[in-house]
Structure 1
Amino acid sequence: MNVIRYIVPSILIVIAIIYLVLTFNLPESKVGNPTAAMNYPLLIGFSLLGLSIIYLINEVVRAKKEKFTAYNIFADKELTLHVVIILVLSLGYTLIFETVGFLISTLIFLTALLFLVNGKKKWILNIVVAVLFSFLSWYAFSELLGVSLP
């Protein structure tokens, strides 16, 4: 039996249980229905728990039928390097977001990501897409929707 295929559904079940425990510990509302504040979080928690259990059962059934090969993708060194670079870029984006602001941090992140995915040959396209997306999303949120962005 290949235990590795049960790791993700087991982690999701633990997260769902912790989420539900924290939801049940929410304070009661002083206005209106006392339990109204926890209805939506309970829906999310029980949905996550139910879907995670279905996922675990699905993996148990699959274990009897087929060999688990999902992690064979990490044998490809170039793909693994791309995944690590994207994770580092995402971490960098979250770290500079507050200090630099939405527009500049998104522009830097998207430019780096597009150069990683598309390569240097399409540098004009990469820069145009990054600038347009960053500016248009900032404009949509900040000006049209009135949402304050850092």
Structure 2
Amino acid sequence: MAAEITPEYCPCGSGEAYRACCQPYHQGKPAPGPEALMRSRYSAFVLSLTEYLEATWHNSTRPQAQDLSDAPRWESLHIVSANASDDDGAVHFRAIYRAGKGWGYLEEKSRFVREGGRWYYVNGDTREGALKPGRNDACPCGSGRKYKACCL
């Protein structure tokens, strides 16, 4: 399930090396909680790891097949909040993507469940929209630079 091209930094935005962050989960190690699973699933979307996405999607809500051929180019992830009890959890996140020449976002309040010692994504309440960053705003790609000096 590991990506053929291994990025230096993890796509999930943790700032850690991919090999020390999400790659172990992509290779089969169970995520320790909902936030780690959410981050690893985001990275799997970035890296087109459909097998991992299917394996971490609860069988009660999992679609028949994952087709990422028309997926947007995911640029950054921001975790708004995360919590977990013994066997269920939630993560509220906002993911930024490129939409043609512009930008968009997907915001979701995701639900997770733990079964047999593994966490699974169940479903989420989502909303999407367009982003219109100003020249002096932080760049939506997550670089930390101003938009005008980065992706404008």
Please give the TM-score of this superposition, normalised by the length of structure 2. Answer: 0.23
- Structure with bigger helix share is 1
Q: From the CA coordinates, give the structure whose radius of gyration is larger.
A: 1
Please give the TM-score of this superposition, normalised by the length of structure 1. Answer: 0.23
